[in-house]
Amino acid sequence: MDPIFVFEQLLNGLGFGLMLFLLAAGLTLVFGIMDTMNLAHGSLYMAGAYVAARVHEASGSFVGAVLVAVAATVLVAFVLELLIVKRLYARDHLAQVIATFGVILIADDAVKAIWGPSPVMATTPAALAGPVQLLPELPYPAYRLVLLAVGLLVAVGLYVLVNHTRVGMLVRAGASNRKMAEFMGVRVGRVFSFVFALGAALAALAGALMGPISAVQIGMGEAILIPALVVIVIGGIGSVRGAFVAALLVGLVDTAGRAFLPPLLRSVLPPALAADLGPAFAGIAMYVLMAAVLILKPAGLFPARA
């Protein structure tokens, strides 16, 4: 197989993985630290995408649009935490799932009421709209390279934040043993609010950045929520490092499944059977990966809690 093609697919896999990481990082932080399953994380992603798309169209500034989207979503998240999520921290996962599922239902109808049922336009900033010549034989979308860079930056930023700052220490303390942290005088409520806002900001960033290469429409949050959940479960809930590794793994496996599995099957199976099975296998690759990981390590690759 052409090495450039393989390299390109590798890059694609990493890119998709990093996009999932942006969403999964917030999800896993909230989950790991507050022990709270927030299904409405996908709705925050949707909010980020919508606000960014509208502001970008109105102002013409993409960077400005992303910043406004993040700010607006953090504001929404602040209200959401105050009204609902805060009261869920002490509840069990099932109560959290049900209540945040309720939030999804409300959010989807709210978006429909504000922006209508049709998808809205989210354009790629003109400077990044075309491809750049990465190798003589390989043009690559400039915008995707930016996504790769942002994804990596966020990963590094989170690493520094969690491991080398005071806030990170509190966060880690909260994640590994909430009771102990409280006992030591950590103002857990504040840490929680901060983490929830951070998660929302990351979700909004992911949504705003994904807008130009995907459909900005109602339900977009639910569609990407499942892969993001798969990522945090594979990584071990609460572990940012786990989410990073798992996101890249899922991105690579999913891309490889789509790029290499169908031709492989075609070379070993009768064409009709291969045509049925290839895409089916490619579609479930990430779920098979998750099941396999959980069979070997029932608490994910990097369990955050003992």
Residues of this chain, 146-185, that bind other proteins according to CB under 8 A? none
Q: Does 223 bind other proteins (CB under 8 A)?
A: yes
Q: Which two structure tokens, joined as six digits, stand for 249?
A: 């793994």
Minimum CB separation of residue 58 from other proteins in Å reads: 14
70 to each of 13, 28, 42, 129, 238, how far by Cα in Å?
26, 19, 14, 22, 22
Q: Does 37 bind other proteins (CB under 8 A)?
A: yes
Q: Does 59 bind other proteins (CB under 8 A)?
A: no
52: Cα separation from own chain's centroid? 17
**Choice from 60, 61, 163, 276 touching other proteins (CB under 8 A):** 276
Local structure of residue 129 (DSSP, 8 states)? S
What residues numbered 71-90 form the site for other proteins, per CB under 8 A? 84, 87-88
What residues numbered 97-156 form the site for other proteins, per CB under 8 A? 97-99, 101-106, 108-110, 112-113, 116-121, 123-124, 129-131, 139-144
Local structure of residue 298 (DSSP, 8 states)? T
Do the beta carbons of residue 61 and residue 119 sit within 8 Å? no
Q: Does 273 bind other proteins (CB under 8 A)?
A: no
Minimum CB separation of residue 198 from other proteins in Å reads: 21
252 to each of 134, 207, 258, how far by Cα in Å?
20, 21, 10
Q: Which is nearer to other proteins, 161 or 222 (CB)?
A: 222
Which is nearest to 38 in space by CA: 219, 165, 195?
A: 195
Q: Does 93 bind other proteins (CB under 8 A)?
A: yes
Q: Which is nearer to other proteins, 164 or 267 (CB)?
A: 267
